[in-house]
Amino acid sequence: MKVVLIGVGQAGGKLTQRLAQYDQKMGFGAVQGALAVNSAKADLRELDLDTVLVGQDRVKGHGVGGDNELGAEVMQSDATEVMDALDGRITAQAEAIFVVAGLGGGTGSGGVPVLARELNRVYQVPVYGLGVLPGRGEGAMYQANAGRSLKTLVREADATLLIDNDAWHTSGESMGEAFEKINQNIAQRVGLLFASGEAVEGVGESVVDSSEVINTLRSGGIATLGFASAAAAESAEENVNAVTSMTRKALLSNLSLPNAIEADSGLLVVAGQPESIPRKGVERARKWVEQETGSLQVRGGDFPLDSDRLAALILLGGVERSERVEEFLERAKEASKQTEEPDEDPAEKFHNDQLDDLI
> 172-199, pLDDT tens digit by residue?
666 667 778 888 889 999 999 999 866 5
0.85 surpassed by pTM = yes
In which band, very low, low, confident or very high, does the pLDDT at 137 lie, cut at 50, 70 and 90? Answer: confident
Residue 31 burial (10 A CB sphere; 0-12, 13-18, 19+): buried
Rounded Cα–Cα distance for residues 313 and 1 (Å): 15
User: Is 183 annotated as ligand-binding?
Assistant: yes
Give yes or no for residue 250 having a pLDDT over 90.
Answer: yes
Give yes or no for residue 355 having a pLDDT over 70.
Answer: no
**Interval 146-177: pLDDT, tens:** 999 999 999 999 999 999 988 776 666 666 67
How many CA atoms does the CB half-sphere of 42 hold within 13 Å? 5
Give the three-class secondary structure for 296: coil
pLDDT, residue 172, reads 61
User: Is 11 annotated as ligand-binding?
Assistant: yes
User: Is 12 annotated as ligand-binding?
Assistant: yes
Arithmetic mean of pLDDT, 111-135: 97
**Interval 195-216: pLDDT, tens:** 986 654 555 557 788 999 999 9
In which band, very low, low, confident or very high, does the pLDDT at 112 lie, cut at 50, 70 and 90? Answer: very high
Name the percent of the chain lying above pLDDT 70.
89
Domains along the chain with CATH numbers: 3-195 (3.40.50.1440), 223-317 (3.30.1330.20)
Cα 125 to chain center, whole Å? 18
- The C-alpha angle 202, 205, 206, rounded to 5 degrees, equals 110
Residue 86 burial (10 A CB sphere; 0-12, 13-18, 19+): buried
Strand residue runs (E) in the chain: 3-8, 31-38, 50-53, 96-102, 127-133, 159-164, 222-231, 265-272, 298-304, 309-317
| Phi, psi of 266, deg, nearest 5 | -155, 160
User: Is 167 annotated as ligand-binding?
Assistant: no
Rounded Cα–Cα distance for residues 114 and 149 (Å): 10
User: Is 13 annotated as ligand-binding?
Assistant: yes
User: Is 38 annotated as ligand-binding?
Assistant: no
User: Is 266 annotated as ligand-binding?
Assistant: no
Rounded Cα–Cα distance for residues 99 and 149 (Å): 13
User: Is 191 annotated as ligand-binding?
Assistant: no
**Interval 291-341: pLDDT, tens:** 999 999 999 999 999 899 999 999 999 999 888 888 889 999 998 888 776
User: Is 108 annotated as ligand-binding?
Assistant: yes
User: Is 138 annotated as ligand-binding?
Assistant: yes
Arithmetic mean of pLDDT, 99-109: 96
Give the three-class secondary structure for 2: coil
Rounded Cα–Cα distance for residues 265 and 196 (Å): 17
User: Is 107 annotated as ligand-binding?
Assistant: yes
